[in-house]
Structure 1
Amino acid sequence: MRRYNLVFALLIIVLMSGCSTMNKLNPFPQHVYSSPSTNKATKSTTAYDPKTKPYKVLGVTYYPLKSASGYDEVGYASWYGSDFHGKKTATGEIYNMYGLTAAHKTLPLGTRVKVTNLANGRSAYLVVNDRGPFVRGRTIDLSYGAAKQLGSVNEGVIKVRITAVGTVPATVPAVNKTVVASASKAYHVRVGAYSQRSNAAKVHNQLKQAGYVYSRIRQVESNGRVLHVVQAGSYASRDQADRVLSRLKKAFPSSYITS
């Protein structure tokens, strides 16, 4: 009997030793713990200076320069006038076509620039208070007053040198809705449609020289024919389009508005 008791005692000791070993290898076999902080994604936000805040126009995002220091570029300048007179610029200021201002895609708002007409040597000091021009090949858009000082009103587009010379305070920018009108809500002033692109190009050039710097040529297909449609511009409201149409009717009596 004592022999059986001894065997039983040894068996209990072995079993207890095994449980102790299991607990050392995996003390919590039924639970997996992780720190909640390791599963949370950390979000970072970037604060932009209002003068250099990125913006989107016609599906393209533009990232302005953080500083205009050292900016010196040769490019092409157009000008914009009565179509935008009295409307808000990208800084929130009211555009005065007779003032000395300019629109630029990437210079910080409030940048003061010296613009020189390379054809005649005339210069003007302007303040960038708007965005644009959103036309391929154009570097800067001048106010009518600036174009007049540079002697480029009749030429429409000129080659210029743009040099940053300082800065002035600029307010929080707001997107220029006249220029950036979405295609689905815009009113287009259609001047004409031509089967020959060369004819459309002549009319397009006339519009640009008259100050309609956002005029364009669109190629469309109608009844199996390819037409080159000339538009004087796209506008956010019907009233704006009507005013432009009334000015164009004398030179282009067949003009009308589409949307």
Structure 2
Amino acid sequence: MNKRNFQWRAQLNWLWLALGVAVLAGCSSSDSRYDIKDDVAPSTPISVDHIEGAQPKYEPYSLGGNKNYTLRGKSYTVVKDAEGFKESGQASWYGKKFHGHLTSNGEVYDMYSMSAAHKTLPLPSYVKVKNLDNGKETIVRVNDRGPFHDGRIIDLSYAAASKLDVIKTGTANVEIEVIIVEKPSSQHKLDQHPEYTIQVAASPHKDRIDELSKQLAEKLSVETFLTPVNSNYRLMLGPFKDYKQTQDVLEQVQKIGYPSAFVKKL
């Protein structure tokens, strides 16, 4: 590779790295990908009186935004089992600057939805938020990461912040509590296929990938299978119905030498 190509590849790699960090930073970022520099309320806000709190329902966790991460030199570990999770601290809010941009789990942020951002709760999660300063409370759906400021535990959407009277004050003392919704029994009966698999590797050499499949099955105590695609064979683990188990197995696979392994949702 000549010097010019090496420099071009280095610049391209740096661009992708910077883009990844910007997306992860979510509502805390101030880079130029947003239309305005500083976050503000909508210039002609619509009434949010008719907007009800988020309605908790069972949802499988998103494939995006649920991995442990490091931002600004600090590491964050995503909660795998949020049952009984409670936290007290300050709430802030985000609005027009981020409206229409992607959240950390790949959805589009709508400042008029009852949503929020949290640093470590699994995405999505439903959370009851109580404003300790005035006693008001509501329910939000967490689908983003943030806020990355000391003392702040949750970033509310404009609508949610309006419901709790946080817009004027900017921040408020709150208590949050995760609401767990179990998978409906009727849905258990309808789901004939598991939801997650893990792709470990792919190779055109069936004998080698088959041997690796046997080794991982024994080492990790999981089911394995091969999926032929064109001239390659993909080594898959699973299937798994439980997202937490899937993430646990994925971490084990990555630690023993397969960092590019990833989860596939069926």
TM superposition score normalised by structure 1: 0.45
TM superposition score normalised by structure 2: 0.43
